[in-house]
Amino acid sequence: MSARTLQLPRLVAGRDFADDLVDSLRLEPGAEVVVDAGELLSGTPSFAAELVNRVLVAGQAGSLLLLDAPADFADYVSAAAADLGVAGKLVIRRAVARNAG
Amino acid sequence: MFPARPPRRLDFLEVRETEYGRQLDLTDLHWLDPLHLVGVATHALLAQRAGSRLLLSGLPTDQAYYAARMHLGRIVELFGGEHDLPQVNERDRQDRLLEIQPLRNAADVERLSELVYLRLAEHNEPAAHALQLAIGEVGSNVCEHASSIGFMAAQTIAEHGVLRFAVADAGVGLRATLASIGARDDRHAVRLALAGERRRRTPGRGYGLPATVRIITELKGELLLASGLAAARVNRSGSRERRLDLAFQGTIFEGSVPAHAPAGSPGRRLPGGTHRADGGSRTRQDEGPRTTPDEGSRTRPDGSPPTRAGEGSRTTPVGGARTRPDAVPRTGEVKQ
C-alpha cells in the first residue's frame, strides 16, 4: 500500500489550490494519505472540501489522516467527509494546545 | 455590533448614458466605502463590455483623494474609462488595508486572501482569520460562477473600530448561478446563497458563504449581500432583506468586523514578522478628516475631527506605516 504525505502551507484557500496540491501527490487508489497541517494558520471550508473530495472520492485513497490541524479546519474536513460519504476513511489527530484558526 | 453599510448606499451607483459614455456622478457621495469602490470598478468593466466607457466624476475632494489612493482611477482607466481623481502619493497607505484589486482567477484569490491575513494577523488574528476565509470563499465564488472578473477592496477606520471589505463582480448574478438548485428570483437566490442550500446542491459544495456568515457574525460583524434587485444584511440577530431601487448587475458583498482584536486575543506572531512602526492609529493630515454626511457630519472648515457620530477621520491601525515582511508582495499595482 503506497503512502503519500501532503504538507499544508500556512494559509490555504480555494478549490483550485487544493486541486494543485493533490495533483502533486500522484495518488494511486488505496493509498494512505497523511495531510500534515502543523503549519496551517487558516484554511477555508471550500479548500477542505475539495481536499477530501480529491483524495478520498476522486482519488479513491484508502485513508486520509489529518494531523495537527487547527480545530476549525479539522471541523471543515470532517463535515466535508461526512457530506461526501467518506467519513469512515478519515482520521483526525488534533494538535495539543493549539488554538483554532 | 459592527454594521455593514445599508443597501441604500448602493443607490449612489447609478450610471447615466450620455453621448460620451456612461456617466457616474458621485457628487452626493460624501463617504466612499469599499462597497462603492468595487461597485464603481464593476461599472467600469460593464461599460467597456458594452462598447462604451465609464466617466467618473464629482467626488468631493477628500473622497476623491481617498479613491485615488485606493487606485480607483487606475481601475477606471484599465477599462477605458475617464475620471477626475487627483494624483496622489502612492506610498501613503493611510486608510488602506487593500487597494482595489482585480480578481481574475484562483491565484488572485489565494494571493489576496493571504496578503490580507498577513497584514492583519499580528494585530487582530480573529479578523485576519475571518477575512482570509471570507475573501477566499467569496472570491472563489466569483472565479467559479460569475463568468466575469471581480474586484475587492478593504479599509480600516480605527477610531470607529471597523474594518470593512467588499467583493463585487459584473457577472451573471446569484439568480442565474443558483437557478439549477431552484432559485426563483433575486431574493430567493440571495437567501439560498446565504443559507447554503443543502438539499439540491452537489455534495461537498455550498459551504463557503454560510461559513463566511458564521465567522463574521461570531465577531459581532455584519455582512451585506446584493444581487439583481435583492439585498440582505445578516448579523447575529438574523437577516434583513430589502428590494433595491437600482438593480446591481452581478453580485456585491460587503463585510464589517471589529478592527481591533478583543482583549485576551493577541495577534499572531508570523515568521519574518511584521510590526507597526507608528505604534498607533493616525488621522489623515494631507486631506483633513473624512466625514460622512448621510451618517455623520461634514468636514469642519478648520479640518478638526467631527464631533457627531458617524465615521470621522479615517485612520488605519493596520497596513499603515509598518514594515512589510519580505514574503508579502507589493500591492496596489494593478497589472494592465
Closest to B140 (Cβ–Cβ): which among A14, A48, A85?
A14
CATH of the domain at A54: 3.30.750.24
Spell out where B259-289 has E strands: 275-276
Closest to A45 (Cβ–Cβ): which among B110, B135, B211?
B211
Question: In the prediction, which pLDDT does B39 show?
Answer: 96
Asked if residue A101 belongs to a domain, the reply is no
What's the whole-model pTM score? 0.79
Question: In the prediction, which pLDDT does B90 show?
Answer: 63
What is the distance between the alpha carbons of residues B200 and B222, in angstroms, rounded to a whole number? Answer: 27
Higher pLDDT, B268 or A87: A87
Higher pLDDT, A94 or A10: A10
Q: Which residues of A touch B136 (CB under 8 A)?
A: 13-14, 44, 46-47
Q: Is A60 left (phi over 0), alpha (psi -120 to 50) or beta?
A: left
Strand, coil or helix: what is B18?
Answer: coil
Asked if residue B268 belongs to a domain, the reply is no
User: A65 is in which domain, residue-wise?
Assistant: 3-93
Indicate if ipTM > 0.85: yes
Type and span of the H or E element at B103: strand B96-103
Question: In the prediction, which pLDDT does B322 show?
Answer: 25
What is the distance between the alpha carbons of residues B115 and B132, in angstroms, rounded to a whole number? Answer: 9
pLDDT in tens, A32-66: 999 999 999 999 999 999 999 999 999 999 999 99
B110 and A41 within 8 Å at the Cβ level: the answer is: no
A44 and B132 within 8 Å at the Cβ level: the answer is: yes
What is the distance between the alpha carbons of residues B273 and B156, in angstroms, rounded to a whole number? Answer: 21
Question: In the prediction, which pLDDT does B208 show?
Answer: 86
- Check pLDDT > 70 for residue A77: yes
A44 and B140 within 8 Å at the Cβ level: the answer is: yes
Taking residues A19-42, report their average pLDDT: 94
What is the distance between the alpha carbons of residues A83 and B2, in angstroms, rounded to a whole number? Answer: 33
CATH of the domain at B214: 3.30.565.10
Asked if residue A47 belongs to a domain, the reply is yes
Question: In the prediction, which pLDDT does A35 show?
Answer: 97
Cα→Cα distances B235→A44, B11, B216, B241, Å: 20, 22, 8, 12
Asked if residue A100 belongs to a domain, the reply is no
| Domain count of the fold of chain B | 1
Q: Which residues of A touch B143 (CB under 8 A)?
A: 14, 16
Give the DSSP letter of residue B166: E
Higher pLDDT, B267 or A87: A87
Cell 473624512, residue located:
B290
Question: In the prediction, which pLDDT does B198 show?
Answer: 54
In chain B, which stretches have pLDDT less than 50? 271-336
Q: Which residues of B touch A73 (CB under 8 A)?
A: none
Question: In the prediction, which pLDDT does B308 show?
Answer: 29
Q: How many CB pairs (< 8 A) connect A and B?
A: 85
Q: Please list the alpha-helical segments (H only) found in chain B.
A: 34-49, 61-69, 72-78, 106-120, 125-145, 173-177, 186-195, 208-218
Order across the sheet with A63-67: list the strands: A3-7, A32-36, A63-67, A90-93
Measured between CB atoms, does A50 come within 8 Å of chain B? yes
**Beta-carbon contacts of residue B218 (< 8 Å; ≥ 6 apart):** none
Asked if residue B124 belongs to a domain, the reply is yes
Question: In the prediction, which pLDDT does B302 show?
Answer: 33
A13 and B109 within 8 Å at the Cβ level: the answer is: yes
What is the distance between the alpha carbons of residues A69 and A91, in angstroms, rounded to a whole number? Answer: 12
Asked if residue A98 belongs to a domain, the reply is no
Q: How far apart are the CA of B172 and the nearest CA of chain A, in angstroms? A: 20
User: B181 is in which domain, residue-wise?
Assistant: 7-261+276-320
Higher pLDDT, A76 or B196: A76
What is the distance between the alpha carbons of residues B128 and B118, in angstroms, rounded to a whole number? Answer: 7
Asked if residue B49 belongs to a domain, the reply is yes
List, in sequence order, every residue forming a beta bridge with B322; answer none if it has no partner.
Answer: B276
Question: In the prediction, which pLDDT does B326 show?
Answer: 31
Q: Which residues of B touch A13 (CB under 8 A)?
A: 109-110, 113-114, 132-133, 135-137, 139-140
B114 and A13 within 8 Å at the Cβ level: the answer is: yes
Q: How far apart are the CA of B151 and the nearest CA of chain A, in angstroms? A: 16
